[in-house]
Amino acid sequence: MSENNDGQRVFGDMPAGELVEYAFSLIDSAVDPDLAIEQLMVRMTAYFNVDIIVVREKTERGAAIKCTYEVSKNGNVKLKGLERRFLGNAWSEWDERYKRGGGCYKYKKSMGESPMLLMREDAVKSLIVIPFYNDGNFKGTVDFYDSENERDWTDSEIAEMKSISDIMFRYMFTLRSFAEKYEDLRNALKKDALTRLPKVDEFIKYVNDSISTDKNMDYVIISSDIANFKYINEKYGYNTGDLLLTKFAEMIYRRYKRVVSCCREFSDIFLIAIKCKKGESAENVCALVDQCNMSFLEEIKPITEDTNVAVNSGFAFVGDNELTVSEAITGATAARKAAKDMTVLKGSRSKAYEHSMIASKARTLEMISHCDEAIEKGQFQVYFQPKVRCDNYEIIGAEALIRWKKDDGKYILPDEFIPAFENNGCIVKADYYVYEQVFKYLRERLDKGLRCVPVSMNVSRVHLFNTKLVTVVDRLLEQYKVPVELLEFEITENVYLDRLPAVMFTVQWLRKMNIRVSIDDFGSGYSSLDTIAKLPVTTLKLDKVFMKDRLDEKDKIVISAVVDMAKKLGMDTICEGVETEEQKRFLEEAGCEKLQGFIFSKPVTMQEFSRMLEIE
Ligand code: C2E
Ligand code: MG
Ligand code: MG
């Protein structure tokens, strides 16, 4: 240390008072807090002209003291990480020493044998130990060593050592509590909040780790879901739904032997990884899965009372056909979906993955990869299916339905490509293409002064994950200036159940714009009219499932009640999939105003539809 022209003590080119400032600036900008502390300690050695500075902290359990940081001018670090136990009344003896020394302990070699425990004897000519207390509790010390000179420290030096040590300790504690909270947060993010199970990526990691450490076993991935879970949620409330999910998670650990890991993939779908002996048969795994599923169902019986709950499961062996863990998840998922078509055996359906199940996956991928090309080449076509008045077949509207005509002239039906498109966002492009064609069609007819009827467009569930639909419709309205009375959007019942707040936002916006909104496929899912009534929709569209070949008395009662209740809720009704005179007559009787179905017309091209309007 030297003095500058103003008589200030300096360290390098840094005036004395700025050591504290330097400490704060380091702390502020620290990316790696440990590094920041050591950097500060390096400056302190130079500033106080000592060889070594050591930070020691009382351990959590309190019986020992541990060296947590150590810097030495010659790079010779000896104590870091070392822990020493304090025996007997050592703590109080040290307290006494600090008190006697005016808040520190000063030592010089000439004083004779040192009472220090964790001492760098090699480096001691002089030593000063500054203790740190928090709320009156001893937390640790900062020790300054001089290996060359016996020093008489001035009061101002000691005061500076105290204040910089104080800053350092406080910074360390703040950091630690932040790090703990951060760790808690990280852990929380890694876990599913409801079941406390790990998230999917953690699950995959555990399974992979386990496979690489124990190669003498086979590994099976099981995918399970609670059938009709949405219905259960609706019937018993979300709290009960949550309770069932928690119970399922508990069952996994209790019932499955040799669980490697498990997670809730999403909603009511669980992934379970188990170990089994090499060459285990699919039949045995099936039996185990059924057993576990049934024990879960037995346990929840008192909760679900009169409802028959079922669990669907699919599983795949990791390594079979070279399946990786992720591929086995896909395989197990495909098998679970296939299991849904099986008859229920005491509430559990389980199926092993077969290679053919993925064949459809290849087709899905192929369709997805051709989506952009299909738009560019104009392979998507928009067909209109007329909607007619029930009593006189007058065309009062149309539904726009997409068709994909491949270059070879073959058609792919929407039921095949839409689910594939929904999984990767292609559907958004396809839907906007349809909307644009509808707006264009209406604009052209309006410009020509021709008769127009309202056209409804289907809204994929994917749109409801964000608010883009609103932006796009807004742009189309701006561009084509089509009167809102000519527009309608159809949202399927299942979408509504999944995403209430998002659907609410979109529906409210459309209604604010005076655009009609209908609930499509009502009756194909599990929502009740009661739930539907919460949405300000204008129309209820009864699904084809109501249109059985022969309507028995029960069917008729249900249809009449639905139409009646919809009316009471201020909605009008339309029934789709009407094919027979009998169905039509009954709908008219029941008071359903509109119908759509092959009885009047199949979906036709726009030109054909225009001709139909002109003939009327
Ligand atoms: P949806 O919206 O419920 O459309 C009605 C479906 O019923 C259409 O099938 C239609 O051709 C069919 N249909 C109409 N009348 C009858 C009948 O009397 N008997 C029978 N058996 N079926 C009839 P399509 O065109 O194959 O469409 C299937 C589904 O694909 C649609 O169901 C809709 O959910 C979806 N879809 C179609 N076009 C689009 C689109 O542009 N965007 C979106 N997101 N989905 C679309
Ligand atoms: Mg529809
Ligand atoms: Mg429909």
pLDDT tens readout for residues 550-591: 888 888 888 998 899 899 889 999 999 999 999 999 999 999
Nearest CA residue ID for atom 34, ligand 1:
458
Give the containing element (helix H, strand E) for 581. helix 581-590
State how beta strands 395-405 and 411-412 pair.
Answer: antiparallel
Are the beta carbons of 2 and 47 closer than 8 angstroms? no
Q: Which of 360, 320, 333, 347 is nearest to 271 (CA)?
A: 333
The single-letter code of the amino acid at 440 is: K
509 C-alpha vs ligand 1 centroid, how far in Å? 25
Token output for 502: 């998002």
386 lines ligand 1 (CB under 6 A): no
Nearest CA residue ID for atom 15, ligand 1:
597
* Structure confidence at residue 286 (pLDDT): 95
385 lines ligand 1 (CB under 6 A): yes
351 C-alpha vs ligand 3 centroid, how far in Å? 31
**Cβ-based burial of 186 (10 A; exposed 0-12, middle 13-18, buried ≥19):** exposed
- State which of 411, 547, 576 you would mutate to test the pocket of ligand 1, scoring each by most atoms of that ligand within 8 A of its C-beta: 576
State how beta strands 455-459 and 395-405 pair.
Answer: parallel
* Structure confidence at residue 188 (pLDDT): 64
160 lines ligand 1 (CB under 6 A): no
φ, ψ of residue 269 in degrees (nearest 5):
-100, 125
CA 401 → CA 222, 385, 435, 454, 459, distances in Å?
A: 37, 7, 10, 14, 11
Parts of the chain with a pLDDT under 70 = 1-17, 27-32, 113-119, 178-190, 345, 358-361, 423, 465-466, 494-501, 525-531
State how beta strands 126-134 and 217-226 pair.
Answer: unpaired
Report the nearest atom of ligand 1 relative to the CA of 579.
18
* Structure confidence at residue 606 (pLDDT): 97
493 lines ligand 1 (CB under 6 A): no
Q: Where are the beta strands (DSSP E) in 1-136?
A: 2-3, 9-11, 14-15, 52-58, 64-72, 83-85, 105-108, 126-134
Q: Which ligand is nearest to the CA of 523?
A: 3
Q: What is d(CA 97, CA 99) in angstroms, rounded to the nearest whole number?
A: 5
547 lines ligand 1 (CB under 6 A): no
242 C-alpha vs ligand 1 centroid, how far in Å? 34
402 lines ligand 1 (CB under 6 A): yes
